[in-house]
Chains A and B, each alone.
Chain A
Amino acid sequence: AQTVTQSQPEMSVQEAETVTLSCTYDTSESDYYLFWYKQPPSRQMILVIRQEAYKQQNATENRFSVNFQKAAKSFSLKISDSQLGDAAMYFCAYRDVLGGTSYGKLTFGQGTILTVHP
């Protein structure tokens, strides 16, 4: 079974600075997807960024970027120019390529609480 591990229960950053959240995963599959989700206190889970395992290029979305190391099974999230609105619980998640489709279940890590200080 696939597992996802986030070893940082809490992280903090000063506004406008950069922070990196860590994630490792375990799988025997060669093709899969990885995600970072954000869950603010309101509980609505929002997709931040995704990475297809077959792509060597790291995904970026504005201030968010990932460092995907497939051999090391590592998938970290870098948030640049941190804003107060970035404060939330961040989850790393894994999804199999199910039967050639992309609608398989998500397996989540335990989450990292990010605090942004003004």
Chain B
Amino acid sequence: EAGVAQSPRYKIIEKRQSVAFWCNPISGHATLYWYQQILGQGPKLLIQFQNNGVVDDSQLPKDRFSAERLKGVDSTLKIQPAKLEDSAVYLCASSARDRGWHEQYFGPGTRLTVT
């Protein structure tokens, strides 16, 4: 079974530029999560989708971050315009009910550096 795929793996941009990250969850996983992990900290949830609907986006900075999950499969996270404090690893995870349990499977992440 293929895991959660993310691209790109690394991205360097200047502040005020735009950037987009892509996530392809495990096939059949209805729930998709985007986490932000700043260096030296634990991941923090930005947004959670159930199919193509948003379950939780309470910590998403909506003035500059946006995310969509078209057709309930792939997802894109966008930052526009980027700030220096957005430098972090962006992790995508997906889950599905299996034997009564939703285990979250994480992708390798995208490391963003804003200069």
A91 vs B42: C-alpha distance when bound (angstroms): 7
A-B contact pairs, 13 of them (CB 8 A): A42-B108, A91-B43, A101-B97, A101-B102, A102-B101, A103-B31, A103-B50, A103-B102, A105-B45, A105-B56, A106-B45, A108-B43, A110-B41
B25 interface residue (CB < 8 Å to A):
no
Residues of A within 8 A of B33 (CB): 105-106
Inter-chain contact B106/A45, CB cutoff 8 Å: yes
Which secondary structure dominates chain B's binding surface? strand
Tell me the total A-B contact number using a CB cutoff of 8 A.
52
* Nearest-Cβ distance from residue B54 to partner chain A, whole angstroms: 12
Nearest CB in chain A: distance from B78 CB, A:
20
- Inter-chain CA distance A93–B44, complex, in Å, is 11
A93 to B: closest C-beta gap in Å: 8
Residues of B whose CB lies within 8 Å of any CB of A are: 31, 33, 35, 40-45, 48, 50, 56, 89, 91, 93, 95, 97, 100-104, 106-109, 111
Question: Could you tell me if A4 and B42 are in contact, using CB atoms closer than 8 angstroms?
Answer: yes
> With contacts A102-B102, A105-B33, A105-B48 known, is A43 near B42, CB below 8 A?
no
In the assembled complex, how far is the CB of residue A42 from the closest CB belonging to chain B, in whole angstroms? 7
Are B48 and A111 neighbours in the complex by a CB distance under 8 Å? no
Given the complex of chains A and B, what is the CA–CA distance between A27 and B48 in angstroms?
21
Q: Mark A75-118, 1 if CB is under 8 A from B, else 0.
A: 00000000000000001010000000111011111110000000
B40 / chain A contacts, CB cutoff of 8 Å = 110-111
CB-defined interface of A32-67 with B at 8 Å, one 1/0 digit per residue? Answer: 000000000011111100000000000000000000
B residues within 8 A CB of A106? 33, 35, 43, 45, 104
Please tell me if the beta carbons of B42 and A110 are within 8 angstroms of each other in the complex: yes
Nearest B residue to A4, CB-CB: B42
Given contacts A43-B91, A103-B102, A108-B42, could you give 19 more A-B pairs where the C-beta distance is less than 8 Å? A42-B108, A43-B108, A43-B109, A43-B111, A44-B106, A45-B91, A47-B104, A101-B102, A102-B100, A102-B101, A105-B33, A105-B45, A105-B48, A105-B56, A106-B35, A106-B43, A110-B40, A110-B41, A111-B41
Q: Is the CB of A111 within 8 A of B45?
A: no
